[in-house]
Chain A
Amino acid sequence: MDTLFRLVSLQSDQSLNSSRTSSSSRSSRQNPYQQEDEECFNIFMDDEDFSSSSSKHYNPYPHHQLHHHTASNTPTPTTTTTTGSATPTHHHVYDQSANQFSYSPARDVTLEFAASLSGHDSKWASDILLETAKAIADRNSARVQQLMWMLNELGSLYGDIDQKLASYFLQGLFSRMMDSGDRTYRTLISASEKNCSFDSTRKMVLKFQEVSPWTMFGHVACNGAIIEAFEGANKLHIIDISNTFCTQWPTLLEAIATRSDETPYLRITTVLVSKAGGANGGSSGVQKVMKEIGSRMEKFARLMGVPFKFNVIHHAGDLSELNLAELDIKEDETLAINCVGALHSVTTVGNRRDSLISIFRKLQPRLVTVVEEEADLDIGVDGVEFVRGFQESLRWFRVYFEALDESFPKTSNERLMLERAAGCAIVDLVACPQVDSVERRETAARWSHRLQGGGFRPVSFSEEVSDDVRALLRRYKDGWSMVQGSDSTGIFLNWKDQPVVWASAWKP
């Protein structure tokens, strides 16, 4: 029987068994394989054993595993027993499954990655994952299974970067195989939203800003550009479509309060986009958080003496379908649109991104600021396109995880939350239909092209703003730098010479 078929046939069981599904995703630390460990042949044994072993896997494991794999693939049974020191159950399981794979390809999967696994500076997760993606594209189900099994064994949400990548991407690939991307995504989101409180959100966002310029980079650049664009205006309105929970605004408020001319009137309308049909219970959590944030913004503005009005619009569905009337833009307001990580949430299907930009154009803002993560994650549906996109995702998330790794202390709850959010994004990218995807980042060049096509021209950041950004980066650990974009379209935040975030400003 074909394994893929078995995997697919599983879905029906799962959908009947809804309680299992939800329990399996009550937190992302549990591996999706749990869903199938009984229905499918018992490759994966029981859950407890699996999870306990994966947490033990931390450092020495890959090495050990390597031995084990090589050993177990040799026909002599004696080697199997000799390696059974730390995780005997696994050996057993592996042997069993290996025996069952009568149709497994002749090539030795583990040997294939031996070098990668043993190498000091290896990126074994990327290697194996990429192979898995290729196998999926080739519809080589046996190989897919083997590789996935391997990933499952090696990966851990609490391990090093490779283990984490293995784990999160495996989740994505598995959901893809199961065609359950949507459901996995939803359960992940609702799980994270269940834990979402003002407190935890604040902690996460502020901690992230404290240790890494990842988001602050965009904030400083955009605020600088916005303040300059607003010079002289006395009724300001910022349409804020961002994912940083208004942490951008206190410094802007302060800057406005200390502006040399008269303190202007400021409105901020924050648009929060959630996936259409997303878990409603979850978004109420977000609404609560935003309400609290709003009241704090108002208090702070009062403190700063800035006449201020704050409004939140919760928009379910694609951003390009936003009801503009809700924004309540007044004639006499000077408008700025601040998009931080917003554009990539628009679906890539059907020109929606361009149409959103032309909607912005119609609003006649004085300035549009765009901050996007620099990656090309438009993962294709299938075949080579899929592999290419998958590879880029691997690259991107590795950079991201590495940046997190070097910024945060080893055991940081906030970091774990950020990684889980990245895990969600990975599921979205790898397993969800393109139409629903909210994570498909594009490169600065592509965005620039779109924005220029939409009737905007780039505004380069002033020397002062660039100085501010550079000053910001100096406070963080080494490795961060600012690089001017080509053709004066914005600036990049580089991490170890890889551009990771792009900030830009645009005028109609």
Chain B
Amino acid sequence: MVQIEKSASQASGESRFLFSDNHVKSEQSVEPTLPVKKKRNLPGMPDPDAEVIALSPKTLMATNRFVCEICNKGFQRDQNLQLHRRGHNLPWKLRQRTNKEVRKRVYLCPEPACIHHDPSRALGDLTGIKKHFCRKHGEKKFKCERCSKKYAVRSDWKAHMKTCGTREYRCDCGTLFSRRDSFITHRAFCDALAQETALSQPLAITSPGGVMKLQVVAPLVAAVVSSPPPPPLTPSTGMWSPVLSIQSSELPENHIPQLPPPPGAAAPFPGAPTVTASNSSTSSGNVPGNGGVLASIFNVSTSAEHPHTAQPPVASYSTMLCTMTGPDQHVIDPMSLSLSSTLYLSSGSSSLLYPAALGHPHRHYTPTPQPALSATALLQKAAQMGATSSNSSFLHGLGLSMIPPPDPQDSRNSAIAPSHWSNTTHVKLENNSVASGLGLGLPSSNSPASFNELMMNSSSLFGNKPATLDFLGLGMGAGETSAGGFSAFLSSITDGLDMTTSNSFAGVGSTMDTWDYPSDRKPSML
């Protein structure tokens, strides 16, 4: 189903397309049905049935509030204390797991001004709310001596300390920066950025009332998978379609003519039919089925075959987008496609939802041409900056895919994350185990609860290791915890992307184990 939403209230000075595969049905078990149109999609979209819990600031800030009366050792959880008491031969009592389903709980932020104070925006897990409260409303007690950045959460600080000063930012133009702000300033002025957007021309979709946001929810199942799936990159993605946050202004001008009036101008139009074909060049090798035959590795040659001349990228985009949106032919500039969120999304979702995915045809898109890739590099960086300095993370993007977007923050994030959509949406019909292996230590991948966390609450996923939000793909923090694994995964993605573009994929993805935890790889940014 494709829907377009116009929300003129978003006085954002620009319009954006947000593409999102809506896969509501399969998720309904874990995720409440959400209205397709939503203005905002912020973390915290709790199940309405969940038990809402409001904890006091003191409780939230408390560390080790369960103290052993014998040895004064403190514990964060009563259960742990009880276990400890056993050692002292004190009476102890472990809470019994109540029968069947534990009722899901969501947590409110005690800060009245905070958006998560509203029960409808409650966060999905206790750790998440604690970290949220600490980060947003707590004192930043931990300071990096090197760069004087301050953190409220110790783990944030520790993670920062690991990487502070060691990180280099590389611009597409090849210049290296050790300092973030120099990099940012340079980036704004660098020709690399200008070139990326050179093709595009602002498409004015400004309604009198301000600017509208266009939200296109693409059909869940769009295209048939053609060539072998992208290996290291995406385990499987079929269902989780990326959230593409696009600013309409980025529409390549040469496509504008083909475009029907900007979708936003129209009332929501009927869902586009499922698209059956993807980009012809890539789909040439079409492997039909959902059957998981696609064991063959992502064959970069497909992408390599794409002449990287001026025309093709655009063409493939348009194909791709046509594919996505069906008859309406929205063409989106590569740059603004939000690749990253897709990636993360797919990685996250793959293990969780893979079974569901099996039942669906998958989508295959052409690899994104070079320029977009470089945008990725930048924006991964930008995103990383954002991720560490605030709550926002690409997981917003994740959430977005389920929950139709446009929260300004989210869309910003996804806008920040550029586009290699195509790569990520290569679907892999590998077997299930591979897919879940790719889940890379996401918390308990199959449980609905964790799924919920993943989707609803970015901080719950990344909360443990916020600094491993290394969307740069630099993979520095990789491999420590689950989040680390995730980051490793991301870095592998980045690697893959690089390789894809350089057409040097050969064999990398040929065996799954080769890219299982490539945390040591340091992807090079283009």
A210-B385 contact in complex given A265-B13, A299-B194, A309-B13, C-beta closer than 8 Å: no
- Tell which of A209, A265, A295, A304 has the most Cβ of chain B within 10 Å: A304
The stretch that binds A, out of B94-102, B303-311, B404-412, B460-468, is B404-412
A157 at the interface (CB under 8 A from B): no
Q: Check A470 against B12 for contact (C-beta < 8 Å).
A: no
A408 at the interface (CB under 8 A from B): no
- What bracket does the count of chain B residues touching chain A fall in? 35 or more
A206 at the interface (CB under 8 A from B): yes
Q: Check B193 against A299 for contact (C-beta < 8 Å).
A: yes
Q: What is the CA–CA distance of A257 and B382 in the complex, to the nearest angstrom? A: 10
Q: Check A247 against B185 for contact (C-beta < 8 Å).
A: yes
A288 at the interface (CB under 8 A from B): no
Number of A residues, CB within 8 Å of B: 42
Q: What is the CA–CA distance of A306 and B411 in the complex, to the nearest angstrom? A: 10
Q: What is the CA–CA distance of A257 and B392 in the complex, to the nearest angstrom? A: 10
B249 at the interface (CB under 8 A from A): yes
A149 at the interface (CB under 8 A from B): no
Determine which of A257, A299, A470 lies in contact with B197 in the assembled complex, contact meaning CB atoms within 8 Å. A299
Q: What is the CA–CA distance of A202 and B149 in the complex, to the nearest angstrom? A: 28
B156 at the interface (CB under 8 A from A): no
- Tell which of B189, B247, B249 has the most Cβ of chain A within 10 Å: B189
B217 at the interface (CB under 8 A from A): no
Those of B442-464 within 8 Å (CB) of chain A: none
A302-B14 contact in complex given A206-B186, A257-B386, C-beta closer than 8 Å: yes
Q: Check B14 against A300 for contact (C-beta < 8 Å).
A: no
B150 at the interface (CB under 8 A from A): yes
Q: Check B11 against A307 for contact (C-beta < 8 Å).
A: yes
The chain B residue with its CB closest to the CB of A247 is: B185
The chain B residue with its CB closest to the CB of A232 is: B113
B106 at the interface (CB under 8 A from A): no
Q: Check A209 against B14 for contact (C-beta < 8 Å).
A: no
A395 at the interface (CB under 8 A from B): no
Complex interface: chain B residues within 8 A of A260 (CB) = 136, 390-391
The chain B residue with its CB closest to the CB of A210 is: B182
Q: Check A265 against B12 for contact (C-beta < 8 Å).
A: yes
A258 at the interface (CB under 8 A from B): yes
Q: Check B415 against A265 for contact (C-beta < 8 Å).
A: no
- Tell which of A247, A257, A296, A464 has the most Cβ of chain B within 10 Å: A257
Q: Check A302 against B247 for contact (C-beta < 8 Å).
A: yes
A303-B148 contact in complex given A210-B182, A247-B189, C-beta closer than 8 Å: no
Contact with B along A324-367 (1 / 0, CB 8 A): 00000000000000000000000000000000000000000000
Complex interface: chain A residues within 8 A of B181 (CB) = 216, 220, 251, 472
Complex interface: chain B residues within 8 A of A3 (CB) = none
A470-B148 contact in complex given A299-B197, A307-B12, C-beta closer than 8 Å: yes
- Give B39 Cβ to nearest chain A Cβ, in Å: 11
Determine which of B185, B193, B408 lies in contact with A209 in the assembled complex, contact meaning CB atoms within 8 Å. B185
B501 at the interface (CB under 8 A from A): no
Complex interface: chain B residues within 8 A of A306 (CB) = 412
Q: Check A258 against B390 for contact (C-beta < 8 Å).
A: yes
Q: Check B409 against A262 for contact (C-beta < 8 Å).
A: yes
B179 at the interface (CB under 8 A from A): yes
The chain A residue with its CB closest to the CB of B198 is: A299
Q: Check A265 against B412 for contact (C-beta < 8 Å).
A: no
Q: Check A305 against B189 for contact (C-beta < 8 Å).
A: no
Q: Check A263 against B409 for contact (C-beta < 8 Å).
A: yes
- Give A133 Cβ to nearest chain B Cβ, in Å: 40
B370 at the interface (CB under 8 A from A): no
B297 at the interface (CB under 8 A from A): no
Q: What is the CA–CA distance of A215 and B392 in the complex, to the nearest angstrom? A: 30
The chain B residue with its CB closest to the CB of A254 is: B184
A303-B416 contact in complex given A262-B408, A296-B194, C-beta closer than 8 Å: yes
The chain B residue with its CB closest to the CB of A300 is: B188
Those of B394-421 within 8 Å (CB) of chain A: 408-409, 411-413, 415-416
The chain A residue with its CB closest to the CB of B16 is: A305
Q: What is the CA–CA distance of A497 and B226 in the complex, to the nearest angstrom? A: 68
Determine which of A206, A263, A309 lies in contact with B185 in the assembled complex, contact meaning CB atoms within 8 Å. A206
A297 at the interface (CB under 8 A from B): yes
Q: Check A257 against B416 for contact (C-beta < 8 Å).
A: yes
Q: Check A303 against B415 for contact (C-beta < 8 Å).
A: yes
Contact with B along A268-299 (1 / 0, CB 8 A): 00000000000000000000000001011101
- Give B218 Cβ to nearest chain A Cβ, in Å: 21
- Give B464 Cβ to nearest chain A Cβ, in Å: 20
- Give B498 Cβ to nearest chain A Cβ, in Å: 21
Q: What is the CA–CA distance of A304 and B386 in the complex, to the nearest angstrom? A: 10
Complex interface: chain A residues within 8 A of B211 (CB) = 307
Determine which of B189, B392, B416 lies in contact with A202 in the assembled complex, contact meaning CB atoms within 8 Å. B189
Q: Check A305 against B186 for contact (C-beta < 8 Å).
A: no
Complex interface: chain A residues within 8 A of B409 (CB) = 262-263
Q: Check A265 against B11 for contact (C-beta < 8 Å).
A: yes
Complex interface: chain B residues within 8 A of A1 (CB) = none
Q: Check B416 against A305 for contact (C-beta < 8 Å).
A: yes
Those of B413-449 within 8 Å (CB) of chain A: 413, 415-416
Contact with A along B372-383 (1 / 0, CB 8 A): 000100110010
Determine which of B147, B386, B408 lies in contact with A471 in the assembled complex, contact meaning CB atoms within 8 Å. B147
B21 at the interface (CB under 8 A from A): no
Contact with A along B481-508 (1 / 0, CB 8 A): 0000000000000000000000000000
Complex interface: chain B residues within 8 A of A210 (CB) = 182
- Tell which of A220, A299, A468 has the most Cβ of chain B within 10 Å: A299
Complex interface: chain B residues within 8 A of A220 (CB) = 181
Complex interface: chain A residues within 8 A of B5 (CB) = none
Complex interface: chain B residues within 8 A of A470 (CB) = 148
Those of B162-206 within 8 Å (CB) of chain A: 179, 181-182, 184-189, 193-194, 197
Q: Check A468 against B148 for contact (C-beta < 8 Å).
A: yes
The chain B residue with its CB closest to the CB of A267 is: B13
Q: Check A250 against B150 for contact (C-beta < 8 Å).
A: no
A258-B386 contact in complex given A251-B185, A303-B415, A304-B412, C-beta closer than 8 Å: yes
Q: What is the CA–CA distance of A206 and B179 in the complex, to the nearest angstrom? A: 13
Interface residues of chain A, those whose CB is within 8 Å of chain B, are: 202, 206, 209-210, 216, 220, 247, 249-251, 253-255, 257-260, 262-263, 265, 293, 295-297, 299-300, 302-309, 464, 467-468, 470-472, 474-475
Besides A260-B391, A262-B408, A302-B415, 9 other CB < 8 A contacts?
A: A249-B188, A250-B187, A253-B188, A254-B385, A263-B408, A304-B412, A305-B408, A467-B150, A468-B148
Can you identify 6 A-B contacts, CB atoms within 8 angstroms?
A251-B185, A254-B382, A255-B389, A257-B386, A257-B412, A263-B408
What are the 6 closest A-B residue pairs judged by CB atoms, nearest first? A305-B412, A307-B13, A250-B188, A300-B188, A467-B148, A307-B12
